[in-house]
Chains A and B, each alone.
Chain A
Amino acid sequence: MKNSGNANQADPAIYRHPTSLTGAETLWASLAGEGVRDVFGYPGGAILPAYDALRKFPIRHILVRHEQGAAHMADGYARASGRVGVAIATSGPGATNLVTGIANAMMDSVPIVCITGQVGSKVLGTDAFQEVDITGITLPITKHNYLVSRTEDIAPTIREAFLIAKSGRPGPVLVDITKDAQQNSAIFDFNAAAPEAYRPHPMLRADAASIREAIELMRTAKRPLILAGHGILQSNAVAQVRALAERTQTPVACTLLGLGAFPASHPLNLGMMGMHGESWVNQAIQQSDLLIACGMRFDDRVTGTLASYAPHAKKIHIEIDPSEINKNVAVDVALIGDLKDVLDAMLPELPAMDTSAWREAIDAMKGDAAVRDIQNLPDDGHLYAAHVMHDLWHATGGNAVIATDVGQHQMWEAQYYKHDHPRTLITSGGAGTMGFALPAAIGAKIACPEKEVWVVAGDGGFQMTASELSTIAQEKIKINIAVINNGYLGMVRQWQERFYDKNYECTPLLSPDFVKLADAHGIAGATARTRGEAVAAIEAARQHEGAFLIDFRVEQEDSVYPMVPAGAALHEMIRRPQSKPRNNPLVETASDA
């Protein structure tokens, strides 16, 4: 790597003594001062002064192939590590290419800081070359953003941006810096640039009286459930939630983004709730008399139709964002604050609860459903995505970090890869952004080089950001890539099958030979058409020193079950039909045809 070695060690003295630096130097010095070691970016005219100063600082820059990739990498980096991810781009099209990635981070409350170059302050507002109003464009999809046109504002703004990104309910922050602000010089005083302490949302409220109310509800509950969401990871409340569940013997249902926040193999873990959640989980929610929602927001994908959601349940909502309270579901007790703090206050007060009858009732609801879906897929020579997920989980011992894309494969991953550890599933939940997996996995691997990282992507979504394969090659990043190749935009096809009379309009998908595509990047690969080949390929990928891609040619017209149709009640699930369509051809690719 060109930016490694001693030449780029910034002089630590600049943090002790106010020093005159250019804005470009100030930018990197501020980032490094905030603990940044890696950034994902793409240069261009308006950010060139910053790039020119990069080599003086101990920061690794990963050159992406599209700025959307940079934002997703920063996002994956943050989700895998809990540290703020950083993306950097030039003005105009560089900045607008970040937009999808920023919106994605916003929807899932991921702390990233995006830096964009901007045209010179003298020509702002004149439609100068590559000028776009990126602070205007990103206003509704950032937690906050800034336009900086004076060198002396750079350090305080960067420092405040980091504080805002990671405080309270985290989210993306964008800092747009004019070219002249990067070029001019000013005194850099890192300590004086420290922001004031983050102002907590003034409507936080988790006082002793409310906690007592919550405890009272728990004391009388017969059928309690904990709903575990993303906030558990963000608040570092994994141990507290576990203690809550264990001490009260309350079963736990996870949202998609909550997977890994409570161990999948824990006897109290029921599994995932929602549209493609397990049937007994959704039934348990519908029958529950007390929901304890921890860091989740009752998204429409987990509630089904609100009119009949959990009709018998009292609801306790522990949440840091007051605007989420009573937004979708009216709650009985709202504990508005940092989940970890609230649970720490609750734990000593917890009542003893006997939930054995309730847990037996849930077990009884499992019935054949617990084994039905994957076990019922016959090994008829065809390969099922569910089997691939199961085998991947088995081979990695559940210890890998999996970044998924969006679609059927994402749901199968969620159902069949059992996440026992926090931050091992990196997936786009709120936005459902296809193209997320590959760049997010790169970010995760840069953040956690010691971890085994897998991409699980569909043939459609993989092609949205497949150009990042050459980022992997250039930066020598060891990740494994599983393309779940069903020849369709599968999730959309599934809806067409169900709700549009099998009118497969614009969902069959011709793809390149992914193994050859990998090969063109100097990346090894294998194709798997049977279960045996799948297991062998997974092992080959794990043994291989460099990046490895597996093209899993899976059953084409398979569907994700169970499924709660949009607008239906949570317990009105469509189950997997007992007989499977058999005579689908295996996936064709451009080079086979």
Chain B
Amino acid sequence: MLHTFVALVENKPGVLTRVASLFRRLNINITSLTVGESERADVSRMTIVAEAAPDRAHRMMASLYKLENVLEVDDVGRHSAVVRELAMVKVAAGPQTRAHLFELAKVFHARIVDLAPESLMLEITGGASKIEGLVQVLVESNYKILEMARTGRMAMRRGQHTSRVLEALREAPSSQSVLAGKPKQATAG
């Protein structure tokens, strides 16, 4: 099955290698891995999608936490989450064929972000199936895809879920009275 983890990691050189190397050592193939900035200046956020048997989630998560630079891991695949990917697709298209592509873009909520005499570039965000749907329609309509770039998945749980929420509430002056003195109710991860 596909596992999806979000990991918050220290933004330091070599951390990506450590994470990637861990999956290599566990002999698990990474389907996609995105890294970027998070809400904290010194912390990067990774979304890791990996193909492995269902019972390996615990080991992957526990092993990720053993990396000293990994601060927080969440198995978002087990929860309701928003999962998005961005793709850019450059399609061969002259003045005659463009109109149909504009139609397609509208249907798929994609955007045309570049237009050249012989090609145009579509930008689409969404779940993997939506992107794959667009690609399939393009291919079946005999368009030539000149280039395609996909970011890989990014994921974020819906709603609120960690102690950080409680912390945030506690820090917020208005809610102090509500939560003051209460023990932590949940732990991170």
A residues neighboring B (CB under 8 Å): 135-136, 139-140, 143-144, 147, 164, 169, 201-203, 321-323, 325-327
Q: Report A-chain residues with C-beta under 8 Å of the C-beta of B61.
A: 203
Q: Report B-chain residues with C-beta under 8 Å of the C-beta of A203.
A: 61-62, 65, 189
Whether A202 contacts B17 by the Cβ 8 Å rule is: no
Q: In the complex where A322-B62, A325-B58 touch, is A202 in contact with B68 (Cβ < 8 A)?
A: no
Is B164 close to A, CB under 8 A?
no
Is B25 close to A, CB under 8 A?
yes
- How many contacts between A and B, using CB within 8 angstroms? 44
Whether A164 contacts B68 by the Cβ 8 Å rule is: yes
Q: Report B-chain residues with C-beta under 8 Å of the C-beta of A201.
A: 62, 65-66
Tell me the bound Cα distance from A326 to B13 in angstroms: 33
Q: Report B-chain residues with C-beta under 8 Å of the C-beta of A144.
A: 67-68
Whether B18 contacts A323 by the Cβ 8 Å rule is: no
Q: Report A-chain residues with C-beta under 8 Å of the C-beta of B73.
A: 202
Q: Report B-chain residues with C-beta under 8 Å of the C-beta of A135.
A: 14
Q: Which of B25, B62, B188 has the most CB of A within 10 A?
A: B62
Which residue in A139, A147, A202, A323 is a CB contact (below 8 Å) of B63?
A323
Whether B17 contacts A323 by the Cβ 8 Å rule is: no
Tell me the bound Cα distance from A482 to B65 in angstroms: 43
Is B187 close to A, CB under 8 A?
yes
Whether A323 contacts B62 by the Cβ 8 Å rule is: yes
Q: Report B-chain residues with C-beta under 8 Å of the C-beta of A322.
A: 58, 62, 65
Interface hits, B7-54 → A, CB 8 Å: 13-14, 17-18, 21, 25
In the complex, the chain A residue whose C-beta lies closest to that of B63 is: A323
User: Chain B's nearest CB lies how many Å from the CB of A21?
Assistant: 25
Q: In the complex where A135-B14, A323-B59, A325-B58 touch, is A202 in contact with B188 (Cβ < 8 A)?
A: yes
Whether A327 contacts B65 by the Cβ 8 Å rule is: no
Other than the given A139-B17, A139-B21, A326-B58, 19 more pairs (CB < 8 A) read: A136-B17, A139-B18, A140-B25, A143-B66, A143-B68, A201-B66, A202-B65, A202-B187, A202-B188, A202-B189, A203-B61, A203-B62, A203-B65, A321-B62, A322-B58, A323-B66, A325-B58, A326-B55, A327-B59
Q: In the complex where A323-B59, A326-B58, A327-B59 touch, is A140 in contact with B21 (Cβ < 8 A)?
A: yes
Tell me the bound Cα distance from A541 to B65 in angstroms: 49
Q: Report B-chain residues with C-beta under 8 Å of the C-beta of A140.
A: 21, 25
User: Chain B's nearest CB lies how many Å from the CB of A214?
Assistant: 19
Q: Which of A147, A164, A169, A322 has the most CB of B within 10 A?
A: A322
User: Chain A's nearest CB lies how many Å from the CB of B9?
Assistant: 13
8 tightest Cβ-Cβ pairs between the two chains A and B: A323-B62, A322-B62, A144-B68, A323-B63, A202-B189, A201-B65, A203-B62, A323-B59
Tell me the bound Cα distance from A136 to B72 in angstroms: 24
User: Chain B's nearest CB lies how many Å from the CB of A200?
Assistant: 10
In the complex, the chain B residue whose C-beta lies closest to that of A135 is: B14
User: Chain A's nearest CB lies how many Å from the CB of B187?
Assistant: 7
**Interface 1/0 per residue, B60-97 and A, CB below 8 Å:** 01110111100011000000000000000000000000
Tell me the bound Cα distance from A135 to B13 in angstroms: 12
Q: Report B-chain residues with C-beta under 8 Å of the C-beta of A321.
A: 62, 66
Tell me the bound Cα distance from A315 to B158 in angstroms: 37
Q: Report A-chain residues with C-beta under 8 Å of the C-beta of B58.
A: 322, 325-326
18 contacts between A and B (CB under 8 A): A135-B14, A139-B14, A139-B17, A139-B18, A143-B66, A147-B14, A164-B68, A201-B62, A201-B66, A202-B72, A202-B188, A202-B189, A203-B189, A322-B58, A322-B65, A323-B62, A325-B62, A326-B55
User: Chain A's nearest CB lies how many Å from the CB of B189?
Assistant: 5
Q: Report A-chain residues with C-beta under 8 Å of the C-beta of B14.
A: 135, 139, 147
Q: Report A-chain residues with C-beta under 8 Å of the C-beta of B189.
A: 202-203
Tell me the bound Cα distance from A245 to B188 in angstroms: 36
In the complex, the chain A residue whose C-beta lies closest to that of B64 is: A323
Tell me the bound Cα distance from A208 to B151 in angstroms: 45
Tell me the bound Cα distance from A140 to B26 in angstroms: 11
Tell me the bound Cα distance from A140 to B17 in angstroms: 10
In the complex, the chain B residue whose C-beta lies closest to that of A139 is: B21
Q: Which of B13, B58, B66 has the most CB of A within 10 A?
A: B66
